[in-house]
Amino acid sequence: MIASRGLRTVLRVTTAIVLVVVYTPLAMVVINSFNVDRTFSWPPSGFTLHWWKLAAQSHGARHALLVSIEVALLATAIALVLGTLAGMGLRRTRFFGRHTISLLIILPIALPGIVTGIALNNAFRTMLGLDLGFFTVVVAHATFCIVTVFNNVQARLQRLGPSLEQASADLGAGPFRTFVQITFPMMRSALLAGALLAFGLSFDEIVVTTFTAGPQVQTLPLWIFQNLFRPNQAPIVNVVAAVLVLVSAVPIYLAQRLSGDTVSSASATP
């Protein structure tokens, strides 16, 4: 098969075409942010930096960006703790219910976001009598971020095996000392990769956020969605969108600097 010239050419051409289709919309977003027109008409009639200047002064966008970063940082921190615990708890042991537990961890992202969203909305408001706000968004985001950390930790622990920790125990270290001096350093890059994915997942999320954010909490995706259909704001939304496209190269760069794990584990997260 490897020798098949024809197949190779067909696959190469297909890959090239698909990549062009994948990157065209992203390129259009960036080009459109310089478009003189307020509409989507293509090709643009002229280019300007005016919208970029306006966007830099947009109070709403900047505030929403900060809220998004705060939510993502807190949700990532919670997911790191819970995901690590779950990953360590589920290794080696082959007890009954193991599959059920991994299914439970995957469930918040395997079920459609709108279901998770209204389930949490209903639970916060009707069951717990809480007002929706910043806190409820963080709880909701942490819930579906656990899986990214869990996957990375589990993959790393499986690959490393227990021998180093057993050696540490044989040399007289207690479980906590072994964790601090052996297990944690071994898991560090996997934790970073998991945290990166969790951050990205939370930063970009809009469906669950819509249902769990109070009226005064506005994350960046919520801000974009609210301003998407306002003709006056459209050029500024274009600029914010272009910035987000360009910034998306940063986590890829970081992930590449981490470990080979990152690529395979990224597949398990939306």
Task: Give the footprint of other proteins on residues 134-153 (CB under 8 A).
Answer: 139, 142-143, 146, 150-151
Give yes or no for residue 40 binding other proteins (CB under 8 A): yes
Task: Give the footprint of other proteins on residues 60-119 (CB under 8 A).
Answer: 81-83, 85-86, 88-90, 92-93, 95, 99, 101-108, 110-116, 118-119
Of 57, 163, 232, 267, the one binding other proteins by CB under 8 A? 267
CA 238 to chain centre: 22
Q: Which of these ranges, 47-55, 57-65, 180-188, 221-229, lies near other proteins under the rule CB under 8 A?
A: 221-229
Give yes or no for residue 249 binding other proteins (CB under 8 A): yes
Give yes or no for residue 241 binding other proteins (CB under 8 A): yes
Whole-number minimum distance, CB 129 to other proteins, in Å? 13
Residues paired with 222 in a beta bridge: none
The number of residues that bind other proteins (CB under 8 A) is: 98
Give yes or no for residue 166 binding other proteins (CB under 8 A): no
Whole-number minimum distance, CB 48 to other proteins, in Å? 17
Give yes or no for residue 221 binding other proteins (CB under 8 A): yes
Q: Which of these ranges, 34-42, 54-62, 69-77, 185-193, lies near other proteins under the rule CB under 8 A?
A: 34-42
Whole-number minimum distance, CB 194 to other proteins, in Å? 13
Task: Give the footprint of other proteins on residues 173-192 (CB under 8 A).
Answer: 174-176
Q: Which of these ranges, 51-59, 69-77, 182-190, 249-257, lies near other proteins under the rule CB under 8 A?
A: 249-257
Round to whole Å and give the CA distance between 38 and 133. 34
**Quick one: tokens of 113?**
């976001």
